[in-house]
Amino acid sequence: MLYINSIYIAFSQLLPLMKKENLKRIISNLESILNELKSEVYSDKESYVHPWDEHIRNAPRTIQSEDDDGYAD
């Protein structure tokens, strides 16, 4: 977290000195990098989904209720 704060402080000091077009290009590049990272992480489903999650998702859902008091819940 300290590293992120120091980056934020550095950028906040640089922003007034940079041209708007350069900032737009930097933001675009950062977004592109982030999209690449997301695609790499999410492309391998086995790395972040446990097999038990798939088992639960495919199981039939039944609700067991012993509520027979006659009142609407």
Q: In this predicted structure, what is the pLDDT of residue 55?
A: 64
Q: What is the DSSP string of 18-70?
A: S-HHHHHHHHHHHHHHHHHHHHHHHH-GGGTS-HHHHHHHHSPP-------SS
Question: What pLDDT sits at residue 2?
Answer: 63
Predicted confidence (pLDDT) per residue in 9-66, tens digit? 777 777 666 788 888 888 899 999 999 988 888 887 777 777 776 666 666 666 666 7
For the chain, domain boundaries = 17-58
Q: What is the pLDDT of residue 28?
A: 93
User: For residue 33, what pLDDT is reported?
Assistant: 93
Q: What is the pLDDT of residue 73?
A: 60
Average pLDDT over residues 63-73: 69
